[in-house]
Chain A
Amino acid sequence: MGVALDKLPGIVERFPGGSVAITRLDQAINLARSNSLWPLMFGTKCCAIEMLMATGASHHDLSRFGAEVARASVRQADLMVIAGAIVKKMAPRMRLLYEQMAEPRYVIATGSCAISGGPFMYNSYTVVRGADEIIPVDVYVPGCPPRPEAFFWGLLTLQKMIREGETIRAPGIRKKPVLAALPEDVSIHDIRREIRSALVDENIIDIEKAAREKPWAQKVRAWIRRVSSH
């Protein structure tokens, strides 16, 4: 229990005066879930080589994050890594695979094809512009293809989200999924707080007031003042 108490301050608490530790069951389950994600073997294109094969091999070693148990059957998997472009013929199949997965289920979209259509966004008559038009996506990992390290960052982001009990399906918490490539000093907490405040302020946004507060607006006003005084 000593390790748990050191590593999880706030989640596991020592009972005063005794050797009993208490925690919330939700948090304990989320912690267990986040560290045993079983990805589905589902790759359509180049990203599958990088996301599912190169990461699974010994050089990058996905098993450091407890997610190396790639399952060929959807019924045993709880993480779907969309690696590659989804075309219109594939879209119903992907939806079916997603529906067959047992809950809780998570989705990571890797590569520009799965995020927005990527290089096939213009002029292609078959590619679905983003996998999130078909199924809800939790984390996006940009790149064409992303490096395995970028995929790990996306996986860690997902683990963090699971530990905090929020996913794309938890209502009222987030409007949009998070990009995996967060800057150093920005955490999930910041984004969550910002989106919450945005939701609160949604109905009282004064566009003119907001524009007036922008630095470029002050410059423009100063310029107008200078021009009109002449």
Chain B
Amino acid sequence: MSVQVRTLDDLLHAPLDADSELTTQEYLVNMGPQHPIAHGSLRVVLRLDGETVKHVIPVPGYVHRGVEKMCEHLTYRQIIPYTDRLDYLSAIMNNWAVAKTVEKAANIPTNERIDTIRTIMSELQRLQSHALWWGVTGMDLGAYTAFLYGFREREIIGEIFEETIGARLTMNYIQPGGLMYDIKPDFAQKVKNLLPYLKGCIEQYETLLSGNVIFQERLRNIGILDGKHAIALGCTGPVLRASGVPYDLRAVEPYGVYDKVNFNVVVGEVGDCWDRYYVRLEEMRESVRIVEQLIDNIPEGPHATIRYNEEIILPEGLHYGQVETARGVFGVFIASDGKNKCPIRLHFRSPNFNNLWIVTAIASGWRIADFISIQSSLDLVIPDIDR
């Protein structure tokens, strides 16, 4: 496997090495932007030799809305709802990234209660996101039942979010210096009742899908990405950890109250699609463990340390903050001139963008059906790629 930077034009006109002695014809197949595997609107051009994929050429940009440019006209509080609409399955964690960067730059304090609730909400959302991914992966590989089970848990966790936050998808919850709303008095009890059920659900996932021979055949030893190349391509999250690199921001650079809880960083061995599948299942178990440790003693205190209408002006300079979302490291880079309440430049380092481009390195040589497994195991959210 080699990784080198090639332009779209190079890939389209590169010489083709046929993998058999039979005469084959080279042709290009366009997948997307409207395609069931596109998970939104990703366009992928496959350069094929027979049924073997020679090159994968992703063509993003079908949901590019210019969020980063828009954010130059928005205050830091107004940026938060737009981060919901990037990676909408990790909305709370995206909010946290902006809040964390702003708090660090402007020296806004938080308290123990805020950090604990943020951590619990993030882990619940990680569970919700992985449950959706599990169902959708099953659906992509032909198991519609998995989709129904994945969404069952998603709705149940969603009810807790709805009660506290009032939203099902675009949360807009974590603000600089606090939370949008305080939790309800029975929040802890409801989450506590939910946890044993979720544990049972994860076991059920194993029996429903993991043991299936067809499912294993389609994932095992497909699309192997080794740790060295994973780091070189900048991929993060479960994709990186499946390649055997124990890099998890929650462990190596703890924020919130992650330094006070015990959890394992799950790593894979081979780096194939199966490892990427299983790392996520194990992460769900770890998330349940984290919530279990925190839910019993949520400290008392206010849920916000500054007023919501307080003007936030960051000091002059460059500020960066990052969190671990369900898909990897989500970073916010803010350039401030120290006078305006809006950033002069802003950039989101989105995990999906880097995770997408590894298909150009690992999908060559596999069949089209294997490409579906590979793309499904990467768990891509397209609006996060295009921004």
Which A residues are within 8 Å of any B CB, using their own CB?
40-46, 48-50, 53-54, 56-59, 72, 74, 84-85, 87, 89-90, 93, 97, 119-120, 122-127, 144-145, 147
Contacts and interface: CB of A to CB of B under 8 A. Distances in A.
A68 to B, nearest CB: 11
A59 B168 CA distance: 14
A45 B366 CA distance: 29
Contact of B65 (A43, A54, A126): A126
A229 B306 CA distance: 56
Nearest to B88: A46
Given A54-B151, A90-B63, 20 more contacts: A40-B34, A42-B34, A43-B40, A44-B63, A46-B85, A48-B40, A53-B132, A53-B147, A54-B155, A57-B135, A58-B148, A84-B40, A84-B383, A85-B63, A87-B62, A119-B82, A122-B70, A123-B69, A144-B170, A145-B170
Interface of B: 33-36, 40-41, 61-66, 69-70, 73, 81-82, 84-85, 88-89, 132, 135-136, 147-148, 151-152, 154-155, 168-170, 383
Contacts of B155: 54, 57, 59
B41 A90 contact: yes
B95 to A, nearest CB: 14
Contact of A123 (B36, B70, B85, B135): B70
A90 B38 CA distance: 14
Contacts of B61: 87, 89
Contact of B168 (A48, A50, A85): A50
21 contacts: A41-B36, A44-B62, A44-B383, A45-B88, A45-B383, A46-B85, A49-B88, A53-B136, A53-B147, A54-B151, A72-B35, A87-B63, A93-B33, A93-B34, A119-B82, A119-B85, A120-B66, A124-B66, A126-B64, A127-B65, A145-B169
Contacts of A97: 34
B27 to A, nearest CB: 20
B82 to A, nearest CB: 7
B209 to A, nearest CB: 16
A57 B61 CA distance: 29
B65 A57 contact: no
B132 to A, nearest CB: 8
A115 B65 CA distance: 15
Contacts of B65: 85, 87, 120, 124, 126-127
B291 to A, nearest CB: 22
The 7 closest A-B pairs by CB, nearest first: A57-B151, A46-B88, A59-B155, A72-B36, A123-B70, A90-B62, A44-B41
B40 A45 contact: yes
A57 B148 contact: yes
A196 to B, nearest CB: 38
Contacts of A122: 70
A114 to B, nearest CB: 12
A125 B387 CA distance: 12
Contacts of B64: 87, 89, 126
Contact of A57 (B40, B69, B152): B152
Contacts of B62: 44, 87, 89-90, 93
A85 B387 CA distance: 12
Contact of A49 (B36, B73, B81, B89): B89
Given A54-B151, A58-B148, A127-B65, A44 B81 contact: no
A74 B62 CA distance: 18
B151 to A, nearest CB: 3
A124 B63 CA distance: 12
A167 to B, nearest CB: 23
Nearest to A125: B66
Residue of B61, B135, B136 with most partner-chain A CB within 10 A: B61
Nearest to A58: B148
Contacts of B147: 53, 56-57
Contacts of A84: 40, 63, 383
A80 to B, nearest CB: 10
A214 B34 CA distance: 51
Given A44-B62, A59-B151, A126-B65, A120 B70 contact: yes
B33 A90 contact: yes
Given A49-B89, A90-B41, A58 B66 contact: no
Contact of B81 (A74, A119, A125, A145): A119
Nearest to A72: B36
A49 B169 contact: yes
Residue of B41, B62, B89 with most partner-chain A CB within 10 A: B41
A43 B217 CA distance: 30
Contacts of A85: 63, 65
Contacts of B170: 46, 144-145
B311 to A, nearest CB: 21
A74 B36 CA distance: 12
Nearest to A123: B70
Contacts of B81: 119
Contacts of A145: 168-170
Contacts of B63: 44-45, 84-85, 87, 90
A126 B63 CA distance: 9
B254 to A, nearest CB: 30
Contact of A147 (B40, B148, B151, B168): B168
